[in-house]
Amino acid sequence: MKKLLLVLAVVFMASTVRAEGFGLHIGPKVGYQTANLSLDKADIKSGFSEHLTVGIFGRVAIHNFLIQPELLWFKSTQVFTLENHGLFSPSLEMSQQNLALPIFLGYQILDYKLVKLRANIGPVMYFVVDQTKPTTTDNQSLDIEANNMTWGGAINVGIDVLWFTLDINYSFGLTDLFDTTTVDISGTNFTLDSTKQSIFTVTLGFKLFSLGL
């Protein structure tokens, strides 16, 4: 009897939230990051192997308005050019493990049968989980550290088919990865240009839990 009442309560709640134009979706995501979007299979395979991205997403729908927070883990290797007038320009390389927390606000622009199309925009917080010591191209270690937290923004386009959700977003850095703009290498000062990063993220998600719209 209790199980029957619980089932009836869930069915009633789902009917109620659908009638009021409310929806909730939660599930896992997997994807990759890339500097340039490509449909080439080799590029996509390379993106998954070198820049794997995994995480979870949630989405609240109120009629056609959407709120979609995500929590994504990804690896990154970043290379920056160090400048010095009259001298060679070495490169600085650093590998990290990161968490990204985007919070998208958007609108569902198409709802046709089993296909839904949406557009989102919002802020992104990046957190460094682990990082290697920055080094130059000749493996010389540098005494600088990246900020543990930086800010960015992102523009996202997504499409839903049944329980699957595909997202493609372009994120752009709003704050620099390093606080300093000067790097000392063997007593010589080099200038570190802007370290704001921009990148595409492609993810495929599955609506493990759905309620309403």
Q: How far is CA 150 from the centre of its chain?
A: 13
Domain ranges of the chain: 23-212
pLDDT (tens digit per residue) in 90-140: 777 778 899 999 999 999 999 888 899 999 999 999 999 888 776 665 666
Is 23-212 a CATH 2.40.160 domain? yes
The pLDDT of residue 19 is 46
The pLDDT of residue 16 is 45
DSSP result, 88-137 = ---EEEEEEEEEEEEEEEEEEEEEETTEEEEEEEEEEEEEEEEEPPPEET
pLDDT (tens digit per residue) in 155-198: 999 999 999 999 999 999 898 887 777 777 776 777 777 677 78
Residue 98 CA to residue 101 CA, distance in Å, equals 10
The pLDDT of residue 5 is 44
The pLDDT of residue 6 is 52
